[in-house]
Structure formats: C-alpha cells, structure tokens
C-alpha cells in the first residue's frame, strides 16, 4: 500500500496554481491538497461553475498530479472566532471590523465549500472551526463549567447545519485538531464529537506537530478515534524546553531561536513518524499523506522536495496475510 504523497498549498498561495503545479511535480509529489485562498480554489466559483472546477483539475492533470482534498482553514476559523481585526483580510472587504458580519458570511462560505468539493470531485475538506472558549484555556479569572459547556453547545449550533450540508453532498469535514480550535487535544475532540452527536461528516485532519509540542503522543489520537481519521498532514516540530522558556513561548515569533518550540521540515524535528505510520496501518487509513511544509529556517523548495522523499521513506504497508508468526503455522 503506497499512500499518495501530496503537498498542502496553503504555504504556497503566493504562487498561482499554474506555476506551483509543475514545481510540485518536480519535487516528487503525487498530488495536491488545494487551499481555498490565493488563486488555488475560489469557493464561490467552484460551488457553482463545473467548468471552473474542470479547469482547476486540468492544471493538475497536465502536470501528472491528482487532487485528493481541499482546505478552507481561514474561513472556518471565522465561524467561531472572536473575529477581531487580525482576520479582516480573510473575508470580503465590506465586512472588515464587523465580527458578526464576518461570521455570517463564513458560515455560508463553509457550506459553499462542501458544494465546491463535490464539484471538484473530492470527498474531504480540511479546516478549522475557531472557538468561542479558547480564550478561557487558563481558567483565571475563574470560569464556570457552564461557560465551557455553553461553548460546545454553541459549536454544535453553528456546525451541525454546516455538517448536514457536507453529508448531503457526499463530503466530510476534517478538523485540524489545533490550539485556538474547539478541539485541540484528545479529550477536547471527544467533547466536540459528542457535541455534534457523532455526526458522520465530522472527523479529524491529523497533524502530529500541534499535539507533540503540547506534550501528547500524537499516535494516541489515531488509536482513540480510528473511524474519524479522514486526512493526514505530515508536519514536524522541534521542542526545546531548555529551562528558560515554556510551551507558551513568551510571545516570541516563529523563527526566533529562543522559542521553546517551532515547526520544522518533516524529518528535521522531534516527531516520531514510525509509530504514527503503525497507528495509521492499524486503523486502516489509506488516504494521502499531505506535507504541510513550514520551516522558517530552510529554503522552501529544497524543503518541499526533501519532505516528499522523507515521506516515501518513512511510509510502509501493514503486514500482508497476518503477523510474522503465521509463517510458522504454515
């Protein structure tokens, strides 16, 4: 079982798709996970215009690439985020400075994303949801349990109708379990899944980097939710708890060597990918391994090409015909 190796285009949205596609092929990728910003996927057009969708897919085919998923992280964040000035550029300009206007637009745009995915011929949309309760992650001043419960209830109120649209269109939504989202670790994902009553269209875009720096064993998320691993990101992180800084990272920007942790090109950090591959084999995941390339200390084209080779090297198929002990029985 050779899982497809794909490249998430979110960190390459400064390049037009026609320019990025041949690069990705030259780097060694089988396909792309297209982001819904830059010019890679225009959601409103893709939701309504089959010719536009065919044009997007044709660009990939011309370069020997397949399309396995699309991602709309930025818009998804707006559905539950406080929506301050930091995200004004992620919504139409007329909604700048209007948190609730951005939210209403984002909710409808996430529904359109399901229709866009259907028209593009993919079955998974990856993304974020934001969170109305993330700012209470440290409960001081004290936070009542009812406030937390209400946050998960609010998530269900907003996202159940969105997920219904996904199910109607034969598409699944994969939340990247990530700080600032309604689910950021194993137990918060369980609460989130319960909140939407285990909606069949709701699952996980597994990304080990965000779990490792929090102190988790990333593979445990796979074992805990074997039927909810809809998509996988390959992303690495380096953790450097040297006694001077902690995991909250002191308001230091990414790329600052004083940070306690920072993202790294796959294979260059502390994520142990072999246990992750074993866990994916155990749960029967056969979808793409999609490189989300982020490393502020490495030239990105070198890093993307190296990452494609690394993923092919680390991936392996499960044992065929049972365990090795079967040979003795035969």
Domain ranges of the chain: 5-329
Question: Of how many residues is the chain composed?
Answer: 330
**CATH level 3 topology of 5-329:** TIM Barrel (3.20.20)
Q: Which residues of 317-326 are buried (b: 16+ CB within 10 A; e: fewer)?
A: eeeeeeeeee
pLDDT tens for the chain, residues 1 to 330: 589 999 999 999 999 999 999 999 999 999 999 999 999 999 999 999 999 999 999 999 999 999 999 999 999 999 999 999 999 999 999 999 999 999 999 999 999 999 999 999 999 999 999 999 999 999 999 999 999 999 999 999 999 999 999 999 999 999 999 999 999 999 999 999 999 999 999 999 999 999 999 999 999 999 999 999 999 999 999 999 999 999 999 999 999 999 999 999 999 999 999 999 999 999 999 999 999 999 999 999 999 999 999 999 999 999 886 666 665 566
Let me know if 28 is exposed, middle or buried by CB neighbors in 10 A (0-12, 13-18, 19+).
Answer: middle
Rounded CA Rg of the chain? 20
Let me know if 249 is exposed, middle or buried by CB neighbors in 10 A (0-12, 13-18, 19+).
Answer: middle
- Host H or E run for residue 110: helix 99-120
Distance (Å, whole) CA 8 – CA 75: 16
């Amino acid at each position: 079982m050779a899982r497809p190796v794909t490249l998430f285009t979110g960190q390459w949205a400064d390049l037009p798709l026609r320019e990025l596609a041949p690069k990705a092929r030259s780097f060694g990728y089988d396909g792309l996970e297209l982001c819904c910003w830059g010019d890679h996927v225009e959601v409103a057009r893709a939701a309504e215009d089959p010719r536009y969708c065919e044009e997007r897919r044709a660009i990939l085919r011309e370069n020997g690439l397949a399309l396995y998923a699309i991602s709309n992280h930025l818009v998804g964040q707006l559905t539950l985020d406080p929506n301050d000035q930091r995200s004004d550029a992620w919504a139409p300009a007329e909604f700048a400075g209007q948190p609730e206007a951005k939210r209403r637009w984002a909710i409808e745009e996430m529904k359109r994303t399901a229709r866009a995915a259907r028209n593009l011929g993919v079955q998974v949309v990856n993304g974020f949801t934001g969170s109305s309760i993330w700012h209470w992650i440290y409960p001081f001043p004290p936070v009542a349990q009812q406030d937390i419960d209400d946050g998960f209830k609010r998530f269900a109120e907003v996202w159940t109708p969105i997920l219904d649209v996904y199910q109607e269109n034969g598409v699944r939504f994969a939340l990247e379990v990530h700080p600032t989202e309604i689910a950021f670790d194993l137990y918060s994902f369980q609460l989130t899944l319960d909140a939407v009553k285990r909606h069949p269209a709701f699952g996980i875009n597994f990304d080990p980097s965000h779990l490792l720096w929090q102190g988790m064993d990333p593979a445990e998320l796979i074992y805990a939710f074997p039927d909810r691993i809809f998509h996988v990101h390959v992303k690495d992180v380096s953790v450097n708890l040297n006694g001077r800084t902690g995991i909250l990272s002191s308001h230091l920007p990414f790329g600052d060597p004083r940070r306690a942790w920072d993202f790294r090109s796959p294979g260059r950090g502390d994520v142990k990918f072999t246990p992750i591959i074993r866990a994916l084999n155990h749960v029967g995941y056969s979808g793409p391994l999609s490189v989300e390339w982020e490393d502020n200390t490495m030239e990105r084209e070198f890093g993307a090409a190296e990452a494609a080779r690394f993923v092919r090297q680390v991936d392996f198929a499960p044992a065929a015909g049972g365990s090795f002990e079967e040979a003795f029985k035969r």
